[in-house]
Amino acid sequence: MFDQELTGYLNPPDLDYSLKWYEETKPDELWANQFNPHFKKVIAYLLESKRKFQEKILEKEAIQKEKIKRIRKTAFYLILGTIFIILVIGVFAYDAKKQESIAQQARLKAESEKERARIEKERADFLYIEAQSAMKDAQKSEQIALIEKKRADDEYIKANTLQKKAESQKQQIQEAFKSLDSKSAELGKTVAELQVSNIQKERATKDAESARAYQESLNKILYLKNIIQKNDLQKEQLEELLPEVQTAYLTYQTASISFKGQVLPNNDLYQILIQLRKDLIGAKMLEGRTNDLAALPNGLRKIAVSSTDFLQQVEMMAPYSIQNPHWETKSLNLDLPKS
């Protein structure tokens, strides 16, 4: 179907199951040709699916790293922009304050000149009334007063112009503060995105660690299975293996919950416990127990405390048919004594 483009490469969990079967059984071409002549193509398809899946994981990690790099770069430029805006606002504020001070001084000077002109005009009027002979001097004084008034008006106009300029600069400062608020909000958003990205990275790392721990527990179970099934173990060897079996079971239980969300049935682990029970009975470490598992009531399998007090209790729920390879656990307790 893959050659005809009717399906794609394998993905977990199908890929995990297929690789596990391939690594455990290690089939050769002679055996496989009994069922299908395309053994090489099938194995090549399985290994290529494994490679493609690993490439996807590496590609996702690269995309995540590039995204974090872009976010940090954006945050850096936003910070530089914010510092620049603050400096510009400081310059505008200083210049506005200076212009306002100049306008205030000009306004005071204009009012002083205006008052001075008013006094001069009153004095000129008084002199005109009091003495006709001083008319000429009064007219001259009036002209002087008019000139001073014009000067005062010019100063007043200049003061108004400076005040308008100060108000314009004040408005520019307000707009600059609005721009700063906008940049600060954008910076806050960028920081929030960076925090979310870090959380995602931590989550991905935790998932990878759970997957690695799960695989390591499976490898340990296969290692113990090979030792127990391929060797005729003596009493001393059985006593040494019991703590390893206990640790392997507890480790698998923890890793399965962390990676799969529950304790999945593991046929290899159950086969280890069944063979271990037979070896314990054969070594006379469990007396009064039958080797026939099917003979136990209601499918409940128990291994009681041995005479040497090395194994406290093992309980398993076996199928009603002993030929059924799918075993389910009811409870399992491999606590060993401290001494």
Quick: pLDDT tens for 10-40: 777 877 878 887 788 888 777 777 777 777 7
- pLDDT category at 289 given cuts 50, 70, 90 is low
Instruction: Establish if 23 belongs to a structural domain.
Output: no
- pLDDT category at 254 given cuts 50, 70, 90 is very high
* Same domain? 245 vs 326: yes
**Does the pLDDT of residue 175 top 90, yes or no?**
no
* Same domain? 107 vs 176: yes
- For all residues of the chain together, what is the average pLDDT? 77
Q: In what order do the strands lie in the sheet with 328-331?
A: 300-303, 314-317, 328-331
**Listed ranges 92-101, 169-178, 213-222; the one with the highest mean pLDDT:** 213-222
* Same domain? 195 vs 127: yes
Give the pLDDT of residue 290: 54
* Same domain? 97 vs 191: yes
- pLDDT category at 326 given cuts 50, 70, 90 is very low
Percent of the chain at pLDDT > 90 equals: 9
Give the pLDDT of residue 287: 62
* Same domain? 97 vs 204: yes
* Same domain? 163 vs 243: no
**Does the pLDDT of residue 312 top 60, yes or no?**
no
Number of domains in the chain: 2
Instruction: Establish if 16 belongs to a structural domain.
Output: no
Separation of CA 159 from chain center:
60
Residue type, 53: F
Instruction: Establish if 336 belongs to a structural domain.
Output: no
**Does the pLDDT of residue 214 top 90, yes or no?**
yes
Among the residue ranges 153-167, 208-222, 310-324, the one predicted with the least confidence is 310-324
The residue range of the domain holding 139 is: 93-208
* Same domain? 162 vs 268: no
- pLDDT category at 286 given cuts 50, 70, 90 is low
Which carries the bigger pLDDT value, residue 212 or residue 239? 212
pLDDT, average across residues 304-328:
37
The residues, any chain, with a CB within 8 Å of residue 28's CB and separated by 6 or more, are none
Instruction: Establish if 263 belongs to a structural domain.
Output: yes
pLDDT, average across residues 202-220:
91
Instruction: Give the integer Cα–Cα distance in Å for 315 and 273.
Output: 10
pTM here?
0.35
**What does the DSSP assignment read for 130-167?**
H-GGGHHHHHHHHHHHHHHHHHHHHHHHHHHHHHHHHH
Instruction: Establish if 34 belongs to a structural domain.
Output: no
Instruction: Establish if 198 belongs to a structural domain.
Output: yes
Question: 3-state DSSP call for residue 301?
Answer: strand
Give the pLDDT of residue 338: 30
* Same domain? 195 vs 245: no
What's the pLDDT tens digit per position in 217-244?
Answer: 999 999 999 988 877 888 888 888 888 8
Give the pLDDT of residue 141: 78
pLDDT, average across residues 44-69:
86
Instruction: Establish if 245 belongs to a structural domain.
Output: yes
* Same domain? 198 vs 265: no
Give the pLDDT of residue 6: 46
Instruction: Establish if 102 belongs to a structural domain.
Output: yes
pLDDT, average across residues 108-114:
89
Give the pLDDT of residue 303: 40
Domain end marker among 177, 208, 239: 208
**Does the pLDDT of residue 323 top 60, yes or no?**
no
pLDDT, average across residues 145-155:
87
Strand partners, 315: 302, 331
Give the max Cα distance, the chain. Answer: 154
What's the pLDDT tens digit per position in 156-173?
Answer: 898 888 888 878 888 887
* Same domain? 175 vs 242: no
